[in-house]
Structure 1
Amino acid sequence: MLSVGLTGGIGAGKSEVSRLLASYGAVVVDADKIAREVVEPGTPGLAAVVAAFGPGVLTADGTLDRPALGALVFADPERLAALNAIVHPLVGERAQELERAAGPDAVVVHDVPLLTENGLSSRYDLVVVVDAAPETQLKRLTDLRGMTESEARARMAAQATREQRRAVADLVIDNDGPLEALEPQVRAVWAELTRRAAAG
């Protein structure tokens, strides 16, 4: 089994790369998706978040109010660290369960937005970074996700720099261009991953 860490800055196109790799046969372990699962109503994760941040982070139906929580933590490094200390161990545990369930010949791609920030690169056999210029990220966040420029810049500033991400990369996918330029690159990366998995 080959364990791959996949990361990229917000708006770089990591989700699209993840989707393509899954379509080729990768077992994708999506940290964001798991992070949502571990704070669903009735979970110990949600109870811990409410204990740390108060009932104001819940919606009327008892689910996590992500925008309210985001507003609290994104501008405050200490509160963000407190949230991460609750969620990250739960996500790590679940990710390991999913990896153990994959077959011995599998290419397991861990889709981890904060891989660089949390110093996780050593956990994987290799790291793939989806890279885009900051101006490309900004344009995608404002055009496609409807963020204001200041919101987008704040989200980008809360993440590792482009240079920091590239420093931990074994393979880099350049995603500054249109979608059709992405697919051949991802296919080439997939060929390399399956070659390495076969080589053991």
Structure 2
Amino acid sequence: MIVGLTGGIGSGKTTIAKMFHELGVSIYIADVEAKKLMNTSKIIQKELIETFGDETYVDGELNRSYLSNIVFNNPEELQKINAIVHPRVGEHFKSWYHERRNEAYIIKEVAILFENGSYTQCDKIITVVAPIEARFRRLIQRDQTTREAIQSRMNNQWSDAKKTALSDYIIHNDNLAKAKEQVKKIHQEILLNSEKI
């Protein structure tokens, strides 16, 4: 069973994913795998250089700041990157999942699970939500960034209301102890459901 885990930027998806991992669940974090593939896949490298120029890589390493500047406030350019990277991440996930298909369920954590349409490949969906100010606080601290830069990234994502309407489970991540309780409850429910399939 594939369980999609998503949530707006700064909602604490990765923290929640770790809680599931502590319960023995295998986790696939799409953003982490995408970053790895952007540095290791010759096909991705070739297509990104053809699209954005030779400066996209410096000494074989992805030039993140160069690409970030291109996509900042530019959804069309972001779409171009996603069109190159996401299909390869999808293929990578399939082989990763194939090795774990006998597990009761796995979690695929994707920031833009709804936006890129991959939610249709999930059996269940969990959306993590958190108060907007808490999200700003986390991101400013984590990324040493500005409210404006965060807002720009938020504008490229679906609203919480739109996501939760299509989700099976919602985790309110404004208190770690309470979030952990919600994770345990959802874990038990999914295990029960997977036994019935």
Q: TM-score, normalised by structure 2?
A: 0.94
Letter in 2 for 1:174: H
Matched, 1:123 2:121: yes
Give the aligned partner of residue 30 of structure 1.
29
State the Cα deviation string for residues 44-74 of structure 1 (Å, max 9, x = none): 1122111111112223x22001122111113
> Relative to structure 1, is the Cα distance of residues 102 and 13 closer, same or farther in structure 2, using a 3 angstrom cutoff?
same
The match for 2:189 among 175, 192, 196 is 192
Letter in 2 for 1:39: M
Give the aligned partner of residue 110 of structure 2.
112
The match for 1:180 among 162, 177, 194 is 177
Gaps of 5+ in 2: none
> Relative to structure 1, is the Cα distance of residues 123 and 103 closer, same or farther in structure 2, using a 3 angstrom cutoff?
closer
State the Cα deviation string for residues 121-161 of structure 1 (Å, max 9, x = none): 22110100011122221121113332111111111112111
Give the aligned partner of residue 4 of structure 1.
3
Letter in 1 for 2:150: A
Letter in 1 for 2:187: W
Q: Which moved more, 1:5-14 or 1:69-78?
A: 69-78
Residue 43 (structure 1) shift: 2.2
Residue 13 (structure 1) shift: 0.4
CA contact (8 A) 1:105 1:198 kept: no
Rounded to whole Å, the distance in 2 between the matches of 1:145 and 1:40 is: 21
The match for 1:150 among 138, 148, 166 is 148
Rounded to whole Å, the distance in 2 between the matches of 1:97 and 1:24 is: 23
Gaps of 5+ in 1: none
Residue 41 (structure 1) shift: 4.4
Residue 42 (structure 1) shift: 5.6
Q: Which moved more, 1:131-140 or 1:164-173?
A: 131-140
CA contact (8 A) 2:39 2:60 kept: no
CA contact (8 A) 1:74 1:158 kept: no
Matched, 1:135 2:111: no
Q: TM-score, normalised by structure 1?
A: 0.92
Give the aligned partner of residue 40 of structure 1.
39
Residue 170 (structure 1) shift: 0.6
Rounded to whole Å, the distance in 2 between the matches of 1:63 and 1:152 is: 25
Size of the aligned set, in residue pairs, is 197
Letter in 2 for 1:28: I
Rounded to whole Å, the distance in 1 between the matches of 2:9 and 2:166 is: 17
Letter in 1 for 2:164: R
Residue 5 (structure 1) shift: 0.5
* CA-based RMSD: 1.4
CA contact (8 A) 1:116 1:164 kept: no
CA contact (8 A) 2:29 2:110 kept: yes
